[in-house]
Structure formats: C-alpha cells, structure tokens
Amino acid sequence: MTIAAHVTSIFERIGAPVGFDSEGDIVCRTPIDGSELGRLQADSATSVGEKVGRAHAAFEQWRTVPAPTRGAFVRELGNLLREHKDDLGALVTIEAGKILSEGQGEVQEMIDICDLAVGLSRQLHGLTIASERPGHRMMEQWHPLGVVGVISAFNFPVAVWSWNAALAFVCGDSVVWKPSEKTVLTALACRAIADEAARRAGAPEGLLQVVVGAREVGEALVDDPRVPLVSATGSTRMGKEVAPRVAARLGRSLLELGGNNAAIIAPTADLDLAVRGIVFSAVGTAGQRCTSLRRVIVHESVKDELLQRLVAAYETLPIGSPLDSGTLVGPLIDGSAAAGFEKALDQVRSDGGTVLTGGTRAEAVEGGHYVHPAIVDMPEQTEIVRTETFAPLLYVLTYRDLDEAIALHNAVDQGLSSAIFTMDVREAELFVSATGSDCGIANVNIGTSGAEIGGAFGGEKDTGGGRESGSDAWRNYMRRTTNTINYSTELPLAQGVDFG
Ligand code: NAD
C-alpha cells in the first residue's frame, strides 16, 4: 500500500473524508519519502473570521453548561482517541516522521490529558477570602473565558492541541486551532474525532474549528478581538511576532517556544542511566522535540568514559522509515531542516568543535531527509551552541566544579527543560533550587524530554513563560471574578473610609 492510500484508509476508519482539493495551495507531504499526499485549500482572512464567529456562538451556549457535564464531552473525546489510537498514531508518524511508538505515545498523551481534564471538570475551584467588614463574605470564581486560539508546531502535531483543548473545553471555552501547515491532516482527523465526541455528548456544534494555512492564517487568528487567549507553540521567532500583536489588543498570550536543553553529568552519575537518558532525549524524534537534549555539560573526570559509551550507542542507532518497527531515528521534517543541521555543523567546525560521530546524511528512504545524529565536543559555549538547531545535534561541554556547570547551563537565552545526573543529594537539590537550573523543567537522573501531563509544562526566558497541561494550568483558560457579598444591614466601606 502507498503512504497516500494508507492515509485514505485511516480517514475512512476515523469516519471522515480527508477533503483533498487538487487545486489547493497547501501541499500535504510525508517526510518519510517526501511524497505528496494531497492538497488542501487554505483559509482566507474572511473564512478565519467566520470560523471564529462560529466558535464564539458555540462558546455562548457552552458556558451555560455545568462544568461536570462539559467533562462528559471530553470523556467521549478520550474514549474515541483510545479507539483510534493506532490509526491516529500512524498518521502522526506519516505526517511528522516520528517513529510508531512515539506517534502512539503522542496519542496516549492526548488520552491522558482528557482523563486529567475530566477530573478537573469537578474541581474548577476558587477561594473564599476573609472580609475585613462585618456581615460580608469575599470569594473568587472562575468563569469560562471565550474562544481560545491554538497555534501549534509540526513536531507535536496533536498532543499540544489536546493539552490546550481538553482543558479549554472543560473550562467552558471553544477552540479555533491553526495547526502547522506541515501537519494539517492530523488536525483534520482530530476535528472529525472531536465532532463525533460532541455529537455523542450532546455538546454544541462548532466548539472546535480548524483553520488551515501558514503564518497569514495564524495572524488573522492572532488579531481577532473575539479571541481573548492565543496559545502559541513554535519557534521563539514566531512567539516574538505573535506576543506584541496579541498585546496590542490587550489579549492574553500563552507561549510555548524553543528550548536549548542541557544535562549536567556529575562525577557520581550513574552512567548507565545517563547514557540511556541522553540518547533518548537527544535522538528521539530525530532531535525535533522542544525538549530535545542539545547540550551535555560533563565533569572532566567522567568525560572520556561517557563519550566512549555515547559514541558507541550512536553508532548502532537504526535509522530508517519510522513506519518500520525497528527504527529509532526517522527523517527530519524537510530539506531545510537538513540544511540547517549541516550549516550548524559547518559553524561548529569553524568554532573549533570536533565531530565525534555522525553529522552526515543517511541513505535511508529515497526522497526523505535522514541524517546520522551528531555528537560534537566543543571547546566553549559559542553562539551556535546557544542557538536551537532543530535536529539531532548534541554539543558536549566540560566542567570542573558545579558552579561553573550551572553558569554554563543557564548562559543561554532559552529556559525550557534541564537535567542533572548525580548520586550526590547536595548537587541534586542545588540544581533544582532557586540558584540552580533557570528552566521551567528541572529533572534529576532522567533526561530532558518525555514530560508527564500531570505537571505544568513550559519554560522561562525565550521559551515564552507559558505553562500548559497539569498542575494549575487550567486557570489560563478561565477568567477570575472577585465577589464581595454583603449579608448585613449596614454598608461599611473598605479601608474605614467615611463617606458621610
Ligand atoms: P514555527 O514557529 O515555524 O511554526 C509554529 C506555528 O506558528 C505554525 O503553525 C506556523 O504556521 C505558525 N506561525 C509562524 N509564524 C507566525 C506568525 N507570525 N503569526 C502566527 N502564526 C505563525 O515552528 P515549527 O518549525 O513548526 O516548530 C518547531 C519549533 O517549535 C521549535 O523551536 C520548538 O522548540 C518549538 N516547540 C516548542 C514547544 C514547547 O512546548 N515549548 C513544543 C513544540 C515545539
């Protein structure tokens, strides 16, 4: 079966036609062999406006539905995702190029956030606050916010949407989703699944709208005053364009941007764990995760052994079609990603770096862009090391004392994920303390990627400061009202003000 035929059969099982249009300007491709899967019409600024209007109408109904009943819709969504996990996971593999187990893992993440959101639908709580006035009570409530705009990146084509949408739906919001123009098919499959879940749960039509296209379509969504929150995931460049536009109309933005994640390998590190953690974090999804490990900061006493073991592991990595069950390294998303990898390696050489392994093209599947993951020993943290190259390129830096390692660790613009491998409890605690890692995620004895949905996910500095997923991230999708209720017969003023 061709990959295009595979896609058609997946959509048939999901129960929705793909809606290809041979005249369309959005070309859907698979990075596996670069072949065209079909074309779709992009939205115009007018059709984006119409879809925002439909989402707003759905919101006006949805906010009147009790939150636990809204949870029943998300429960249906989670159940349908369980039913279609294999198909949706395979579609992620076909469209984003990640291996089957990672494609399925992404769908599992969607199922997990639906479970979390269903529970939350009974826990959207505010505070009661002691009033300074007799016969008065203060409380806060969290109300539905409105239409949430979700802009997502190619590398997590469905999970990031679900982190936002599952919470937004239980919070009483509707969603307009602009997926990456490189991964539209997975978004259309999710919309079909969400529409079916809404039908089964009796939720209003139009709660989820998908807008198709590149940055202009994103801009139309960003500028729409009926969208109080724009949750945007992608490069720091994109976030720096989106945030001022949303701020100009005093909207809110929730930004999940680029990372430049590092792991410190201390003298007492369990090197078995460290090697496994490093390889998965640096090479998983062919280095195209926001949390991919890009820098190893290793103590000089364990450097030789660590590098020997890492190079040996890298040299046996199976590279090939992500649809083959033995593959661990699939393709880069496109030719420009491969060119970016090569350009970074040119810079590395002129900065005095030594390529220890990889760094060349891999002959895997004709038409795809496959590379041998690279490890580079760097004399210092030059500008290229401080830059996120979205490919499997791992820099090695050496340190003598932990303060130096933490300083190197934090001396980059991004602040997403980080790790330390150590058996020394003082080092571990220091790393996760206020003077340790400056990232949103700081791990001990596990790698930088593969977060669970129960925690708040996101990072500081150029990563944008947003938090999604677990913990109290749901508050992003609601508006807070503070209520003072007077049940007395007097009207005392706050701060003791006397007004006649
Ligand atoms: P990208 O910035 O090129 O595109 C992301 C999305 O933004 C796409 O949908 C794109 O069409 C849209 N977009 C681009 N410019 C826009 C604009 N001016 N206005 C509105 N929309 C615009 O990113 P990408 O190449 O798809 O993804 C890779 C990047 O995303 C990496 O930097 C990676 O670290 C980051 N990422 C971050 C997270 C996170 O949670 N922090 C998760 C996944 C990916």
Percent of the chain residues past pLDDT 90, beyond the cut: 99
Report CA(179)–ligand 1 centroid distance (Å).
9
Report CA(154)–ligand 1 centroid distance (Å).
7
Give the span between the Cα atoms of 39 and 28, in whole angstroms.
6
Could you read off the pLDDT of 376-396 as tens digits, one per residue?
A: 999 999 999 999 999 999 999
Report CA(24)–ligand 1 centroid distance (Å).
23
Could you read off the pLDDT of 157-211 as tens digits, one per residue?
A: 999 999 999 999 999 999 999 999 999 999 999 999 999 999 999 999 999 999 9
**Is 256 among the catalytic positions?**
yes
Ligand 1 atom nearest the C-alpha of 292 is 34
Give the span between the Cα atoms of 58 and 38, in whole angstroms.
31
Over residues 486-499, the mean pLDDT reads 96
Report CA(34)–ligand 1 centroid distance (Å).
21
Our mutation pick for probing the ligand 1 site, out of 290, 386, 414, 439, counting the most ligand atoms within 8 A of Cβ, is 290
Give the span between the Cα atoms of 287 and 294, in whole angstroms.
8
pLDDT > 90? residue 459: yes
Our mutation pick for probing the ligand 1 site, out of 26, 210, 223, 235, counting the most ligand atoms within 8 A of Cβ, is 235
Report CA(89)–ligand 1 centroid distance (Å).
21
pLDDT > 90? residue 454: yes
Report CA(152)–ligand 1 centroid distance (Å).
6
- Among protein residues, the one with the nearest Cα to ligand 1's atom 30 is 234
Could you read off the pLDDT of 76-128 as tens digits, one per residue?
A: 999 999 999 999 999 999 999 999 999 999 999 999 999 999 999 999 999 99
Over residues 145-150, the mean pLDDT reads 98
- Among protein residues, the one with the nearest Cα to ligand 1's atom 23 is 234
pLDDT > 90? residue 16: no
- Which residue in this structure is represented by tokens 């990603």? 337
Q: At residue 433, what is the residue type?
A: S
Residue of 106, 181, 196, 256 with catalytic role:
256
Report CA(157)–ligand 1 centroid distance (Å).
11
Q: Are strands 261-265 and 293-299 parallel, antiparallel or unpaired?
A: parallel
- Among protein residues, the one with the nearest Cα to ligand 1's atom 39 is 256
Ligand 1 atom nearest the C-alpha of 234 is 30
Our mutation pick for probing the ligand 1 site, out of 48, 163, 184, 215, counting the most ligand atoms within 8 A of Cβ, is 215
* pLDDT of the residue at 302: 98
Over residues 439-457, the mean pLDDT reads 97
ipTM: 0.98
* pLDDT of the residue at 306: 98
Which residues' Cβ are closer than 6 Å to ligand 1?
151-156, 160, 178, 180-181, 214-215, 218-219, 222, 233-235, 238, 241-242, 256-259, 290, 388, 390, 416, 463
* pLDDT of the residue at 19: 85
* pLDDT of the residue at 221: 98
Q: Token pair of 463, please?
A: 């990563």
Could you read off the pLDDT of 398-441 as tens digits, one per residue?
A: 999 999 999 999 999 999 999 999 999 999 999 999 999 999 99
Could you read off the pLDDT of 465-492 as tens digits, one per residue?
A: 999 999 999 999 999 999 999 999 999 9
Ligand 1 atom nearest the C-alpha of 468 is 40
pLDDT > 90? residue 144: yes
* pLDDT of the residue at 17: 85
Q: Token pair of 83, please?
A: 């039913």
Ligand 1 atom nearest the C-alpha of 151 is 9
CB–CB of 374/395 below 8 Å? no
* pLDDT of the residue at 500: 86
CA 417 to chain centre: 12
Our mutation pick for probing the ligand 1 site, out of 102, 106, 151, counting the most ligand atoms within 8 A of Cβ, is 151
Over residues 331-339, the mean pLDDT reads 98
Ligand 1 atom nearest the C-alpha of 242 is 19
CA 449 to chain centre: 11
Q: Which domains does the chain have, with CATH numbers?
A: 3-257+464-481 (3.40.605.10), 261-444 (3.40.309.10)
Could you read off the pLDDT of 293-334 as tens digits, one per residue?
A: 999 999 999 999 999 999 999 999 999 999 999 999 999 999
Query: Phi, psi (5° rounding) for residue 82?
Result: -60, -45
pLDDT > 90? residue 1: no
Is this model's pTM higher than 0.95 or not? yes
